[in-house]
């Protein structure tokens, strides 16, 4: 081997050693440590409520046990209704199953759920007051708030309820409308309350319909969603609609601001609702439960 060739080989070998030493001294750089984006893709924030739900394989859902056709607890312990179908579909798309809970609505809207349930799929209307304690997805449907009068009252117009008593579910937007405190989260206008009309509250909207059957003179009117009113009247509740809807409710899935961190869960829920709007799933559920009506867009 010539001296020249020997010198060339020594230079090449030295260069290779220098490259190896440089790589070792840098600790491998980004070639051995996953990027933040990769870490997120691999599992996200382990402290987010979404990660905890997926680890448990169950999402705990608060809903109303007596609000047909949106939700109803049947005698055999199962649930059915529009909200129930929505909740089960959301869980399916998250890759988990549902465990339903039935808190009073006043508990839902107050926040501070203390982990009793993860989300509420119970036709919760987005209002400015509730946005202070709850986070909301975009609305998954909209319902008209319909005033009615009992058959025995003889009232046929909204103005006819002036000075009368109107039954509403406790803690609902219907109660807030009658009290003059309702501000919808989407800024929608509200029909003025009949002069001097006052509220009487029962635990749920359905209780108003049942009470009117047994004690028809306890109140003259009832205010609830048009879908709930229609379902009750079909079942024999003694009411007649009076006037046009007094407002239209934007209804969404709610999470508790005071609960565990849930930014990733919120983003996942929003995407699912958007996808269910786009692929027609919500429209299908609406037509199934609301006698062919598509309430997934605001009329």
Peptide bond into 69 cis (omega under 30): yes
Q: How far apart are CA 154 and CA 255, in angstroms?
A: 42
pLDDT score, position 83: 98
Whole-model pTM: value is 0.78
pLDDT score, position 44: 84
Instruction: Report CA Rg, the chain.
Output: 28
pLDDT score, position 2: 40
Q: How far apart are CA 116 and CA 101, in angstroms?
A: 8
pLDDT score, position 43: 57
Given a contact cutoff of 8 angstroms between Cβ atoms, the answer to whether 61 and 256 are in contact is no
Which residues does 200 contact at the CB level (< 8 Å), separation at least 6? 165, 166, 167, 168, 218, 219
Domains recognised in the chain with CATH numbers:
46-141+250-289 (3.40.190.10), 143-249 (3.40.190.10)
Total residues belonging to the chain: 299
Nearest C-alpha neighbor of 172 from the set 202, 217, 195: 202
Q: How far apart are CA 149 and CA 241, in angstroms?
A: 7
Tokens 């905890």: give the residue. 52
pLDDT score, position 298: 80
In degrees to the nearest 10, what's the CA dihedral of 217, 219, 223, 229?
Answer: -10
Q: How far apart are CA 85 and CA 71, in angstroms?
A: 9
Q: How far apart are CA 90 and CA 87, in angstroms?
A: 5
Which residues does 93 contact at the CB level (< 8 Å), separation at least 6? 272, 275
Given a contact cutoff of 8 angstroms between Cβ atoms, the answer to whether 258 and 112 are in contact is yes
Tens of pLDDT along 136-151?
999 999 999 999 999 9
Residue 247: both structure tokens together: 């407002």
Q: What are phi and psi of 282, to 5 degrees?
A: -65, -40
Q: What are phi and psi of 169, to 5 degrees?
A: -75, 145
Residue 215, burial from CB neighbour count under 10 angstroms (0-12, 13-18, 19+) = exposed
Nearest C-alpha neighbor of 103 from the set 71, 127, 75, 78: 71
Given a contact cutoff of 8 angstroms between Cβ atoms, the answer to whether 208 and 237 are in contact is no
- Cα of first residue to Cα of last residue in the chain, in angstroms, is 91
Residues of the chain with pLDDT under 50: 1-42
Which run of H or of E encompasses 274?
A: helix 263-278
């Amino acid at each position: 081997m010539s001296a020249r060739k020997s010198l060339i080989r020594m230079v090449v070998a030295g260069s290779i050693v220098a490259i190896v030493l440089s790589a070792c001294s840098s600790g491998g750089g980004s070639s051995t440590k996953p990027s933040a984006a990769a870490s997120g893709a691999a599992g996200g924030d382990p402290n987010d409520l979404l990660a905890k739900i997926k680890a448990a394989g169950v999402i705990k859902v608060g809903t109303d046990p007596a609000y047909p056709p949106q939700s109803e607890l049947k005698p055999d312990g199962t649930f059915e209704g529009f909200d129930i179908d929505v909740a089960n579909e959301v869980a399916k798309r998250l890759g988990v199953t549902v465990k339903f809970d039935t808190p009073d609505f006043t508990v839902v809207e107050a926040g501070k759920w203390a982990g009793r349930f993860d989300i509420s799929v119970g036709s919760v209307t987005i209002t400015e007051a509730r946005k202070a304690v709850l986070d909301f997805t975009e609305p998954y449907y909209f319902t008209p708030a319909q005033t009615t009068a009992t058959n025995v009252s003889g009232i046929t117009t909204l103005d006819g309820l002036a000075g009368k008593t109107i039954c509403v579910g406790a803690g609902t937007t219907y109660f807030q409308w009658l009290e003059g405190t309702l501000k919808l989260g989407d800024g929608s206008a509200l029909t003025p309350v009949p002069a001097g009309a006052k509220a009487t509250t029962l635990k749920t909207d359905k209780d108003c319909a049942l009470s009117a059957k047994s004690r028809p003179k306890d109140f003259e009117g009832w205010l609830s969603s048009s879908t709930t009113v229609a379902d009750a009247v079909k079942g024999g509740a003694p009411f007649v609609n009076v006037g046009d809807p007094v407002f239209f409710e934007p209804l969404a899935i709610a999470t508790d601001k005071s609960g565990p961190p849930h930014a990733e869960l919120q983003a996942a829920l929003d995407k699912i609702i958007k996808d269910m709007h786009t692929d027609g799933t919500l429209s299908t559920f609406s037509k199934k439960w609301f006698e062919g009506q598509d309430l997934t867009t605001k009329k």
